[in-house]
Amino acid sequence: MVTQSKARPRKSPVKGWIPGASASPLSPIERSKTTADEVEERLIMAIAMGDKAAGERITEAELAQALNVSRVPAREAMQKLLLRGILVESEQRGLRVTDYGEERIAELFELRFAIEKIIFQHVMRSSRGRAQLIAELEAIIGQMRELSGSGDPVLLGSIDLDFHRAVAKHSGNVLAAKIWEGLAQHMLIIFCRDWTTAKDRTGEVKLHEQLIDFIRNGAPNDIDDVLKKHFTDPASRTRTLKS
């Protein structure tokens, strides 16, 4: 069942314009999330945590009732997730949760590898300063390290995403970063599985520390090998860390 207790606040609060501030009073207004956005996030978390299983049918009425919202935002959220492939058409009324089996995961990681390879190529260009990115990633790693024993796969998966999102944003390739965001919801589901099944969560932290070391001292020619090692499944973590 989708419950409101699964929701987690975003780390960055919405800031409005204040007279006298440096931003122009005619700069775009930062809007808070819509109800449909909230429904979408709750549904993603329900899938990530296994509350909604592969193939399970979801209807507007059920979702609206569970989250105490009208059917309009429930319908909008479901349609967005249908377009992204997280939900699929159902022979009956409503939609079904897609099956994140081996074939689907392989497709996602093929896409993720292609996008992140481009992102890392931009980051590793010698003309680009990486000190700011490294500082940001080390702060994220600090959070990951502190929470590795929390037992909360959604929170850990979100921090994992924050790490890779920071690299994408720093790359300067706006289109690649947007495409990466299109995969982010899928990856959160997979990351939650990784953090749930990992026997040694400090190993997950170590993998990200190695990625920071590569950004700091690595060579662009090694990007393929580094990403392939980083994208291993939890069962391969020990072999990866020893290599």
What one-character-per-residue DSSP string does 107-135 give? HHHHHHHHHHHHHHHHHT-TTS--HHHHH
- Among 1.10.8.590, 1.20.1050.10, 1.10.10.10, 3.40.50.300, what is the CATH number of 12-97? 1.10.10.10
% of residues, the chain, pLDDT over 70? 79
Indicate the DSSP class of residue 235.
G
Is residue 54 within 8 A of residue 14, CB to CB? The reply is no
Q: What is the pLDDT, as a whole number, of residue 13? A: 33
Mean residue pLDDT across the chain: 82
Task: Check whether 196 has a pLDDT greater than 80.
Answer: no
pLDDT for 151-183, tens place per residue?
Answer: 678 888 889 999 999 999 999 999 999 999 989
d(CA 198, CA 177): 28
Q: Are strands 57-58 and 87-89 parallel, antiparallel or unpaired?
A: unpaired
Dihedrals phi, psi of 71, to nearest 5 degrees: -75, -25
DSSP H or E segment with residue 147: helix 131-147
Mean pLDDT value across residues 93-103:
89
Are domains 12-97 and 102-242 of this chain identical in fold? no
- Among 1.20.120.530, 3.90.220.20, 3.90.1170.20, 3.30.70.1150, what is the CATH number of 102-242? 1.20.120.530
Residue among 145, 221, 231 at smallest CA distance from 194: 231
Q: What is the pLDDT, as a whole number, of residue 28? A: 53
Task: Check whether 118 has a pLDDT greater than 90.
Answer: yes
pLDDT band at 199 (very low <50, low <70, confident <90, very high): low
Residue among 117, 116, 163, 158 at smallest CA distance from 138: 163
Cβ neighbours, 10 Å, residue 84? 16
First to last CA, the chain: 42
Residue with the larger pLDDT of the pair 22 and 26: 26
- Where do the structural domains in the chain lie, given as residue ranges? 12-97, 102-242
Is residue 46 within 8 A of residue 4, CB to CB? The reply is no
